[in-house]
Amino acid sequence: MRLRALAALTTTLLLAAAVPARAETHALIMGFEDYLSKQHLTGSHNDAADLAKVLRGRGVTDLTQVEEQHGTLAEVEADWAAMVSRSKPGDLLFVSFSGHGNRSPEKGEPKHTPDGFEKGFLLPRYDEVKFPEEQLRDEHLYDLFKAASDKGLKIIFVADACHSGASVRAVTAKAAAPKFQRFETHGAALPPPPDPSSVARRPPIPGLTIYSAADENQTIQEFLLDDEKHGALSYAVARGLEGKAAGPNGVLTEGDLGRYVLANVRVLSDNTQIPRAVTPDPDVVLFGEDASAAAGGGPAGPGQIAPLGRVTLFTEATPPSGLSGVVLSSDPTRLTLGWKAGGEILNGHGDVVATGVAPEKLQDAVDARRVLDGLERAMGERGGAVATSVAAVGKPASDRYYLRDEPIGIEAANSAFRFLTVIDLTADGTVLFLWPQHQDPVEWSSDHPWSFKVKVTPPYGEDTLIFIESDRALKDLHATLAGLDGKHAAVPLYDALRLLLPQARFKIGLQSVFTCEMLKEDGSCAVSPSP
């Protein structure tokens, strides 16, 4: 399996500071799919409609939803100006964009950006020759947001498009199609970066928390979520705002939403997207009562984990009879799991996650996917989640294969819950019990994050690390895991978690890692069949 370490997310989320009790929320929601001269998209309308529905459910009545017919620069600027004029100091402006992102060389002098590239978001009429101004440039958005901040307004900006990289949203119907692809404007040569001393850096805008996106070297996919195409960021923000990120008292703070979005974007994208966040005041309340009511809420207490559901399986060959927990599909764009005649297992993004899986072993792979779906739901419902990272020892985190016997550092952010359990569930259904083992401390006493090292071993493909932080030692669970270690036992693992986890307060974290036995000359993975 290919071990994918921390990847950065190419999307930017700017989150507001304090919203007074009587403040109002105003929303401008943009979702564009049909472009004049760029590829048409899938999922942007779903992103916009989803966010708009959630905000209306939260009581937001001043909401403007913009699609292609009113998506010119002049109309968007007019919508923004009208929204600002209706707002009073302390109000919150919620702005979202879902569509094409842009990165293009600056043409004039002096340069305004440190890397010599303009960045922004393309409006439907954008054309490099006919309508080059039909875009929301970063510099222009900065000016709009700064003027609103100077008026005493707070801003949330959800940018579900490439913001910091040379990419655009993809449109192909293939399951593996990236949401963003490498893109440069028409025939432009790459400029040398300007002298940093010549670039006037603009100061941060007060009241904005920033969730930054991936850099230009990484790709972002659209995903089939709730049977519709969505951006992982928009979907996670919507689910967080509708209440899944709230603490046990129902209060949703800036910190609650940030933690939820950071963890769940990683899960929704199989860790191909990992956002970064700077939250100046995580105790600020977005929805609910005042900050004092939210303080100390923490993650959810004991609760039930839902029974296993079913996965949508696409296969090119006749599947074995008697498969359970699946809905068969003949559409390769609508799947959560794929199985090829040669024994390859694909995830919903089209990545090969296991090879050499014989028909009689397909149920194990199906069960592994069902277990991960169940844990993703449990993590999302509970709000709090464990922040994790994986990287090759002595090397920076990157999007890469991790090879046989390579040492890997695993880290989990510690919290008030001082007991850690780590399980590895491979794509072929093998359960590996990683922590605590032998002399590992059951309770973490250090102020530093949890950290330990492992080596890459078979089976290769996709491993998903399951992190559980709890308020007490899970001795019964550990005894069960010791008996499951090394076995194809995804369902018994899930049964044990459903039975034993509700005895404690806990948080769950998931991180997919991809390993490979060796590389071919072209840099692709030469994976041996799973045992």
User: 422-433: per-residue pLDDT in tens?
Assistant: 999 999 999 999
Q: Residue 319: left if φ>0, alpha if ψ -120 to 50, beta else—which one? A: beta
Render pLDDT for 399-455 as a digit per residue (tens, 0 to 9): 467 888 888 888 887 777 889 999 999 999 999 999 998 888 888 888 888 888 888
Per DSSP, 178 falls in state: B
Residue type, 58: R
Element (H, E) at 381: helix 362-382
- Check if the beta carbon of residue 41 is closer than 8 Å to that of residue 171: yes
Across 6-10, 126-130, 368-372, 463-467, least confident range:
6-10
DSSP 196: G
Query: Smallest Cα–Cα separation from 97: which of 130, 145, 131?
Result: 145
Which of 283, 206, 200, 193 has its CA nearest to residue 247? 283
Exposed (0-12), middle (13-18) or buried (19+): which is 417, by Cβ within 10 Å? buried
Taking alpha carbons only, the member of 383, 81, 44, 45 closest to residue 241 is 383
Average pLDDT over residues 336-352: 83
Q: What is the dihedral of CA 42, 48, 54, 58, to 10 degrees?
A: 180
Confidence (pTM): 0.68
In sequence order, what E strands does 381-482 have?
388-392, 402-403, 407-412, 419-426, 431-435, 450-455, 461-470
**CA–CA distance, 345 with 349 (Å, rounded to integer):** 11
Cβ atoms of residues 196 and 115 within 8 Å: no
More confident residue, 523 or 190: 523
Which residues, at least 6 apart from 242, have a Cβ–Cβ distance to it below 8 Å? Answer: 54, 57, 58
pLDDT of residue 370: 94
Helices (runs of H) and strands (runs of E) counted in the chain: 9, 31
For residue 468, pLDDT over 50 is answered with yes
Note the pLDDT tens digit of each residue in 479-514.
999 999 999 999 999 999 999 988 788 888 888 888
Greater confidence (204 vs 480) lies with 480
Task: Report yes or no: 367 and 325 within 8 Å, Cβ to Cβ.
Answer: yes
Tokens read off for 170: 């993809």
- Average pLDDT of the chain? 77
Residue whose structure tokens are 């702005």: 95
Q: What is the pLDDT of residue 382?
A: 54
Q: When comparing pLDDT for 303 and 422, which is higher?
A: 422
pLDDT tens, residue by residue, 238-291: 988 988 888 767 788 877 888 788 777 777 776 666 666 666 667 778 887 543
Of 289 and 94, the one with more pLDDT: 94
The three-class DSSP label of residue 14 is strand
Which pLDDT score is estimated for 111? 54
> Binning pLDDT at 50, 70 and 90, where does residue 21 land?
very low
